[in-house]
């Protein structure tokens, strides 16, 4: 296979990869790219190995290097680089600062369609919230929150925003077994539906809302205690998904041949 280019968020202006006694140095232009050698996918024998990756900006000395852990993914080994760290920190900061849109932009979900659906729900909810405030709440001299409290049917307009949030906490609870995220998966829709249908008393709403706020604070704070690699997932899957179909088929065929060879040995 030919060398494959995979766009990431940000990378230093120049990157050197030292892997299995081979060196590849690529000067990067803006927007930035990282070029991966096919050999990154060549080994399936060990789950964690040691490698060396050098990231050097123009003008820096060659001493700025580090030795990250190499993790074995489904499609080959991968490492956590500086752009991954920045991305995860921004994702977690978005949760803490209420920047749901930023977190949904950076969230790692293997199925792209699910990620796009959550982003679309967020966008529809934002548009609905703005439209509700401008056309309904503001003329009535009320804030958006107060107008929603007084008019339960408005949940139809702002609901998609919270549907996106529910999807995010569901993913976190499912992937990492976080109790607070799992509980939030049920509290958020129950509270909104209870308000929309007017079947829930005000006291119950206040209790659920307080529990929602408390659990979300715990959830957002605990995200910063997780290892960075957790929020990245299996990076080799995202690298694989970025390949052209022809190279995907060639890689899968190569991995199958390697597996058969190992079984024979």
DSSP label at 68? P
Write out pLDDT tens, residues 220-262.
999 999 999 999 999 999 999 889 999 989 999 898 888 888 8
21 φ/ψ sector (left φ>0, alpha ψ -120 to 50, else beta): left
pLDDT reported for residue 40: 36
Between CA 105 and CA 21 the distance in angstroms is 37
Torsion of CA 141, 161, 95, 173, to 10 degrees: 140
Peptide bond into 31 cis (omega under 30): yes
Half-sphere exposure of 193 (CA within 13 A, CB side): 6
Structure tokens at 49: 């190995």
pLDDT of 23 higher than 90: no
Contact 203, 192 (CB under 8 A): no
Phi–psi pair at 224, nearest 5 degrees: -80, -5
Mean pLDDT of 66-82: 86
More confident: 53 or 141: 141
Q: pTM for this structure?
A: 0.71
Write out pLDDT tens, residues 197-231.
999 999 999 999 999 999 999 999 999 999 999 99
Number of H helices, E strands in the chain: 10, 9
Pairing of strands 4-6, 34-36: antiparallel
Tell me which residue of 210, 105, 211, 212 sits closest to 168, measured CA to CA: 105
């Amino acid at each position: 296979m030919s060398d494959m280019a995979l766009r990431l968020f940000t990378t230093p202006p120049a990157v050197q990869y030292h892997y299995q006694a081979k060196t590849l140095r690529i000067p990067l232009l803006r927007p930035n790219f990282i070029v991966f050698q096919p050999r990154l996918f060549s080994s399936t024998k060990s789950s964690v190995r040691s490698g060396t990756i050098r990231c050097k900006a123009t003008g820096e000395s060659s001493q700025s290097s580090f030795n990250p852990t190499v993790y074995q993914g489904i499609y080959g080994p991968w490492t956590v680089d500086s752009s991954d760290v920045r991305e995860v920190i921004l994702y977690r900061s978005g949760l803490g600062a209420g920047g749901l849109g930023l977190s949904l932009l950076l969230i790692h979900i293997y199925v792209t369609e699910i990620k796009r659906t959550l982003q679309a729900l967020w966008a529809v909810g934002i548009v609905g919230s703005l439209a509700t405030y401008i056309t309904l709440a503001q003329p009535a001299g009320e804030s958006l929150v107060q107008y929603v409290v007084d008019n339960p049917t408005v949940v139809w307009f702002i609901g998609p925003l919270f549907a996106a949030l529910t999807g995010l906490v569901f993913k976190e609870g499912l992937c990492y077994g976080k109790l607070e995220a799992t509980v939030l998966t049920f509290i958020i829709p129950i509270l909104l539906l209870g308000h929309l249908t007017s079947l829930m008393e005000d006291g119950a709403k206040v209790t659920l809302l307080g529990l929602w706020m408390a659990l979300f604070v715990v959830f957002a704070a605990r995200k910063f205690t997780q290892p960075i690699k957790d929020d990245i997932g299996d990076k080799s899957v995202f690298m694989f998904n970025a390949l052209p179909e022809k190279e995907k088929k060639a890689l899968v065929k190569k991995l199958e041949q390697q597996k058969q060879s190992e079984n024979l040995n």
